[in-house]
Amino acid sequence: MKRVLNYLLAISIIITIMVPITGIIVHKLASTLFLLLVLIHVFLYRKRLDYKYILIITLTILSFVLGILGLIMVEHPIILILHRTVSIVLIILLAIHIYKFNRRLAVA
């Protein structure tokens, strides 16, 4: 179950990142799926939550909200700039999170 969830998370984040290729509609659908899967992932692994994981969850929700606000408030381009900035930081943090998790599995 957890392995399937991890693969679905990986697929949804890849589709979410490919917004220039897939388009905004597929991007929003994939990001919504990613947000739901992240919340399920946190619920399953919640016994190990510390400030780093809370930061990743908060940035994920913030990026999602900024993306929706960027679609609604088109006349304020600063919102989309913030969305892109938060999303890039989130991608870097997720890559570090995945690297540390895989390294922990390889050592054990």
Percent of the chain's residues with pLDDT above 90: 60
Alpha-carbon distance of 74 to 50, in angstroms, equals 36
Measured CA to CA in angstroms, residue 99 lies from 77, 102, 105 at distances of: 33, 5, 10
pLDDT in tens, 53-81: 888 899 999 999 999 999 899 899 999 99
pLDDT above 60 for 108: no
